[in-house]
Amino acid sequence: MKQFTLNLRGTLHSYTRPLVMGIINATPDSFYAGSRAADADAVARRAAEMAAAGADMIDVGACSTRPGAATPDAAEELERLAPAIEAIRRAAPGLPVSVDTFRAEVARRAVTEFGADMVNDVSGGNLDPDMFDTVAELQVPYILGHMRGTPDTMQEYCTYEHVTRDVLSELGDRLQELALMGVADVIIDPCFGFSKTLDQNYQLLADLQLFELFHRPVLVGFSRKSMITKLLDVDAEHALNGTTVLNTLALDRGAAILRVHDVAEARQAVTIWEKCKTFKM
């Protein structure tokens, strides 16, 4: 990865090593049960554990993007997020907090009222036309995801002429829009598992280094996903080893941020990868 900077609430942070982003889901129905936190106390415990394990930031969501999951309305999403972000701030006060949402109003209130530092939008602004205006106004780092359709319909939109080229093109168009609106801090997320088949996910991983053409940090999120469970014929509970393998391959292809359920193992992968980089192999 190349060195990058993020402006977090007026302070410019420079990063020279890959970061680990811990996942906390303030939802009852996220695909991996181990990521769910039922109340503020559970969120605080998970945040403290992640901080102790070496997390660099925490991503918190309150609306599952698992196909078939019930989608809460904005009011319910905000009702879940407010105590969750406060709990993270209390338990891990030094870590930046990213809010995982595709709704502009939820993003706005999470930043201005609850104290989130970043916005993580798997839809890349496609599910809420106000999202780009909102992040431009808030001037917070924005994780630009790639997804077609909605969480319920996304697997109906997996037809590409060439998956890597098409994803690069679609993200490039959105990135240009953001640049024209003055959004400077953009993190690119190819969104493995969203609107991609199993083979398309692995093609994207093989081509991950091509995303460096954007000159933006690249985030990857493989953690316990179906591209592991389907290939290995295991359930999410037994997908940690596969996750670590994919994270390590992604680091070697330029990934700057690993978004994971299991912080300690991801931190170990980064440490070993960094050590290997000091030698010719």
202 in a domain, yes or no? yes
1 in a domain, yes or no? no
Q: What is the pLDDT of residue 89?
A: 96
- 206 pLDDT exceeds 70? yes
182 in a domain, yes or no? yes
Catalytic residue among 216, 225, 253, 267: 225
Residue ranges making up the domain that contains 148 = 7-277
Mean pLDDT across 261-268 = 98
144 in a domain, yes or no? yes
Q: Provide DSSP, the chain.
A: ---EEEEETTEEEEE-S-EEEEEEE-SS--SSGGGB--SHHHHHHHHHHHHHHT-SEEEEESS--STT-----HHHHHHHHHHHHHHHHHH-TTS-EEEE-S-HHHHHHIIIII---EEEETTTTSS-TTHHHHHHHHT--EEEE---S-TTTGGG----SSHHHHHHHHHHHHHHHHHHTT---EEEE--TTSS--HHHHHHHHHTGGGGGGG-S-BEE--TT-HHHHHHHT--GGG-HHHHHHHHHHHHHTT--EEEES-HHHHHHHHHHHHHHHTS--
- 182 pLDDT exceeds 90? yes
Question: How large a percentage of the chain has pLDDT more than 70?
Answer: 95
- 199 pLDDT exceeds 90? yes
Mean pLDDT across 263-279 = 96
- 265 pLDDT exceeds 70? yes
- 31 pLDDT exceeds 70? no
Question: Binning pLDDT at 50, 70 and 90, where does residue 27 land?
Answer: confident
Write out pLDDT tens, residues 104-144. Answer: 999 999 999 999 999 999 999 999 999 999 999 999 999 99
Mean pLDDT across 50-73 = 85
2 in a domain, yes or no? no
Q: What is the pLDDT of residue 37?
A: 72
Q: What is the pLDDT of residue 30?
A: 58
Q: What is the pLDDT of residue 35?
A: 58
Catalytic residue among 259, 267, 275, 280: 259
CA distance 3 to 48: 27
Residue type, 65: T
Domain count, the chain: 1
- 34 pLDDT exceeds 80? no
Q: Does residue 267 have an active-site annotation?
A: no
Q: What is the pLDDT of residue 1?
A: 85
184 in a domain, yes or no? yes
Write out pLDDT tens, residues 97-111. Answer: 999 999 999 999 999
Q: Does residue 225 have an active-site annotation?
A: yes
Of 217 and 33, more confident:
217
Mean pLDDT across 12-19 = 97
271 in a domain, yes or no? yes
Q: What pTM value is reported for the model? A: 0.95
Mean pLDDT across 21-39 = 75
CATH of the domain at 21: 3.20.20.20
Write out pLDDT tens, residues 231-243. Answer: 999 999 999 999 9
